[in-house]
Amino acid sequence: MSRFAAPISEAIWDMKYRFKASDGTPHDLTVEDSWRRVARALAVVEDDAAHWEDVFYRALEDFKYLPAGRITAGAGTGRKVTLFNCFVMGTIPDDMGGIFDALREAALTMQQGGGIGYDFSTIRPRGADVKGVGADASGPLSFMDVWDAMCRTIMSAGSRRGAMMATMRCDHPDIEDFIAAKADAARLRMFNLSVLVTDDFMEAVKSDGSWELQFDGKVYHTVQARDLWNRIMKATYDFAEPGVIFIDRINAANNLAYAETIAATNPCGEQPLPPYGACLLGSINLARLVYAPFEDGAHVCETALSELVTTAVRMMDNVVDASQFPLPEQAAEAKAKRRIGLGVTGLADALLMVGLRYGSDEAAAQTENWLRAIARAAYLASVDLAKEKGAFPLFDAEEYLASGTMQSMDDDVRDAVREHGIRNALLTSIAPTGTISLYAGNVSSGIEPVFAYSYTRKVLQRDGSRTEEEVVDYAVQLWREKFGDAPLPEYFVNAQTLAPLEHVKMQAAAQKWVDSSISKTINCPADISFEAFKDVYMEAWDTGCKGCTTYRPNDVTGSVLSVSENADKVPDESPAIASPEGGEVVYMSEPLDRPTELEGATYKLKWPDSNHAIYVTVNDIVLNGHRRPFEVFINSKNMEHFAWTVALTRMISAVFRRGGDVSFVVEELKAVFDPRGGAWMNGKYIPSILAAIGGVLEQHMVAIGFLEGEGMGLKADPRAQVVNLDSPKGPACPSCGQYDMRMVEGCMTCGSCGHSKCG
């Protein structure tokens, strides 16, 4: 029997985690092969590698422990990739040479797939004097634009998507421009933004005091703290950004406060890190650990949980030694502190299985208990590793035990740390698990509530026919297996039925026993008042959260498709998300075979200063009465272009043959800039040859009716076909075309294929 609980789980494994040769031939024939590959790769640093390989395999088996995607995809493949998920780069110097050295480091890190965070507060504000050159500074946002362009360029070269986080202190003179940056929908698309909010600022907000905006000891402006807070809130209300990070609270609670100062986080916020800080992630799948689900004695066995956590900590500690790093500074930082981020997924499903309503006081208490058990087991496991392998190099017992997190730790854990040291400076974090939760059987993601009980996913087959498969939440599927068509109990709730403050309650409960931070999205209804919206952030501050991220659907941010016509009621049947009709945006399970003949067009592209023209041929296929691009050929007599034109031909054609809303190819190509300069063509400035090719593809898509016009989306809008027509509609997934994009754990994520803005 297959280990996969649902067809989508096997599809995710095949697309994202299965080790394949460059020609697509699988090395991993089964998911068991993938588990064995990862177990062997992480056991290789052990003295008794064969023993630990078996122990690690049993932890991975049946999706009980889920290493983060980069570990599952990269460990044991021999590829030059990092197994670390999160990086915060070095402090950006306030000089031109240092700024561009930092840009180079960011590019190298992103090239290996790392998501990165930067604090731009160290760059002098716009208009400040630049000594020695008689000029005014352009300010941090101008350099953020450069970083944004770099990220687009790295992505256009075919590297794995790597998101970026930009932070700025609430007292920086340019903070108001930073807050308003996402009002321009085309600006800083590669960044998530968060404001570093200090304790003093929050006190000034509560007392309606004044607030000085300063840099390097010079006060530039004085504003009212509450006015500035309202600006942050209004931007977040309208554009879903910036997020808020309570930076003083993070530093006060940091186990390593004596050795580092934190000023930035990774892109989704769960890992506050120092300069060159790196962290790897993994999750305990609570949904797989519930005994007797939906019965009177349903529970998570703490002994089994402790044993799994102990193994997971050892595996993650080994990653520090087994992984490559983009930069030597990152390797040195990781090995000096051996930071790991063990978290959970499937929490909401586990709560359902033991009969608790997510967001209730009882569920919050149970969450706190489970997270406390995990923290205890993780810290004690790390102490045991310190006995065997030594404490992390920067360990100082008295300083470490005096940190905010360790002061609240149980006495027996503190005594063990004092006597034996500890292997890993920080151990717990709750990270985004959108894709790995699908891979594990569509369990609920991280500590998020269940988003939808079920939805329909349409898959286009090789012969052009379409099949439908139901994607069901893991807990709902178990309920069906036990009780058939019996109505779901009243305690079954989802993200659409929860009040925002119930989200905050769950985040605060989990944060008590997480030494890093938590990636969570607090879903707010579109019609929430601005005052009630602000209350969410103040409640997050008052209840001890380290940050807050919300999502309110609106015309600017796009809306998540409604999954129930009566969102305030628990339906008798699992509600379904309907997929759009039409051939344009349906994901193909396999690439279509090429017909013998195809219609198309050839376009001549003459790039200035080039001796030879480029010819772009686009051939189309007709599916269900709709014409769409199927393949591309790019040719030139200029041999300097040969390698990249062949590569581009193959990559674009492969994307076209997979289906979906492939108009994103145009968008990405048109965004590529050439550092040597672009050219003026037909009265427009084109930033690169690749951008010009993107323009040709767009021209063709408009001509065949696939696009409405230049810079516009699909001509035949399938959203008009979606059920629940009175509800706002969200954007299609750029990967598979399904209308199942949702804000999860601070990142827009597709529930159908796992595509995520954040990687």
Residues marked as catalytic: 266, 268, 270
Handedness of CA 433, 438, 440, 444 (dihedral sign): positive
- Calculate Rg over the CA atoms of the chain: 26
Burial 39-48 (b: 16+ CB within 10 A, else e): bbbbbeebee
Residues contacting residue 303 through CB under 8 Å, at least 6 positions apart: none
What CA–CA distance (Å, rounded) separates 712 from 717?
A: 11
Residues contacting residue 576 through CB under 8 Å, at least 6 positions apart: 454, 455, 456, 470, 563
H helices of 240-357, in order, are 247-253, 302-322, 328-337, 347-353
- What distances in angstroms separate CA 245 from CA 29, 266, 314, one per listed residue? 44, 12, 30
- Bridge partners for 749 per DSSP: 742, 756
- What distances in angstroms separate CA 50 from CA 31, 39, 303, 389, one per listed residue? 20, 10, 25, 18
77 by Cβ neighbours in 10 Å (0-12 / 13-18 / 19+) ranks as middle
Listed residue (118, 105, 109) closest to 264, CA to CA: 118
- For 286, the 3-state DSSP assignment is helix
What CA–CA distance (Å, rounded) separates 125 from 132?
A: 17
Beta carbons of 661 and 587 less than 8 angstroms apart: no
Residues contacting residue 725 through CB under 8 Å, at least 6 positions apart: none
- For 301, the 3-state DSSP assignment is coil
278-285 and 340-345 as β-strands: parallel, antiparallel, unpaired? parallel
Beta carbons of 704 and 697 less than 8 angstroms apart: no
Residues contacting residue 370 through CB under 8 Å, at least 6 positions apart: 286, 300, 305, 344, 347, 350
Angle formed by the axes of helices 49-60 and 31-43, nearest 10°:
140
What CA–CA distance (Å, rounded) separates 287 from 300?
A: 9
- What distances in angstroms separate CA 362 from CA 294, 298, 367, 414, one per listed residue? 16, 15, 9, 28
DSSP character for 559?
-
H helices of 88-215, in order, are 96-111, 140-156, 175-180, 199-207
Beta carbons of 70 and 83 less than 8 angstroms apart: yes
Length of the chain: 759
Q: What share of the chain is helix, strand, coil (3-state, %, to 5)?
A: 40, 20, 40
Listed residue (505, 617, 340, 477) closest to 4, CA to CA: 477
Residues contacting residue 328 through CB under 8 Å, at least 6 positions apart: none
